[in-house]
Amino acid sequence: MIIGDAVQSVFSIVMMIGVGYILTHKGWFDGNISKLFSKLVVRVSLPALMFSNLMKNFNKDILMESKIGIGIAFSTMFLSYGISILIARVLKIPPKRKGLFQSMFALSNTIFIGLPVNLALFGEKSVPMVLLYYIANTTTFWTIGVYYIRKDSGNDDGEGIFTMNTLKRIFSPPLMGFLVALIFIILKINPPKFIMDSCRYIGNLTTAISMFFIGIIIHSLHIKDIYFDKNMIVLLIGRFVFCPLLVLTTLYYFEVPLLMEKVFVIEAAMPVMTQSAIVAQAYGADYKYATVMVSVTTMASLLFIPLYTILLSL
């Protein structure tokens, strides 16, 4: 029964992505709509979803129990990033791609794709666990990740890892929604019903719009842009095999809730962050390479999400 429910949840995800793909093929969605969806989710629906779900599913006791989750998330993130640096050296990744390779190997799309997937698989109770992993992932990306991607361009602008710009990027709208909810929970503030209902309705847009966005990304992928060399294969192994297994192995040595274990493994098996391509373009790195990997790993995730969901259900 559990496996059947998991498979059906994955099918619902695939169906929503398929609708996005078909509507893109018909000309309803395009690049401009893709940008609109991205802004709508990250700046509007996700913050609302964070706030409403945390107010519903979080309390002080869960908050105290979550400390170990944050520690595990950061530990596995730093370890996987360190290993990605070694692998990039062994494979002799070109300088214009080295920082990108490291970031794409170690870090996943935890919020834009990861949150809707976990919502579909495990329900609203998974949201606090997703946010714990998200905090570690986004902090690592906007500090270490962006620092090395900037170095890919060959133009050292002298900006360090920890700057005011870095802090602004870390404290994104979704994270601010998370922090505001935490403050309300700690201070025991109960917002009026109309505010909670509004946040819940707006937050419910997240899953469908995110899946439509993935459909647009997959439709934009051109076969001629894909080169399955050893570097791409290693990156795929890192993203979908090494990182989830590293998280699973680490969790084995700690007593954590079963839901946290499932969510963390699924989060670790998400595709490459879409921000990788955006940051690469902004700093003059190989953004076309990043775009291809975002698309390829997004398609590959349709195979690995069902696999990990079934394995975690056994």
Domain ranges for the chain, please list them: 2-313
For residue 26, give the nearest of 284, 157, 159, 216 by alpha carbon. Answer: 216
Confidence of residue 158 (pLDDT cuts 50, 70, 90): low
In the predicted model, is pLDDT for residue 161 greater than 70?
Answer: no
The tokens describing 279, both together, are: 């940051």
**Beta carbons of 290 and 117 less than 8 angstroms apart:** no
Confidence of residue 1 (pLDDT cuts 50, 70, 90): very low
Q: For the segment 125-139, what is each residue's pLDDT rounded down to a tens digit? A: 888 888 889 888 888
Report whether CATH 1.20.1630 matches the domain 2-313: no
Average pLDDT over every residue of 129-150: 85
Write down the pTM of the prediction: 0.77
What three-state secondary structure class fits 28?
Answer: coil
Q: Which residues contact 265 (CB under 8 A, 6 or more apart)?
A: 244, 247, 248, 251, 308, 312
Question: For position 267, what pLDDT does the model report?
Answer: 93
Question: For position 113, what pLDDT does the model report?
Answer: 81
Confidence of residue 167 (pLDDT cuts 50, 70, 90): low
Per-position b or e across 13-32, b if 16+ CB within 10 A of its CB: beebbeebbebbeeeebeee
What residue type is 115 in one-letter code? L
Q: For the segment 234-263, what is each residue's pLDDT rounded down to a tens digit? A: 999 999 999 999 999 999 888 888 889 999
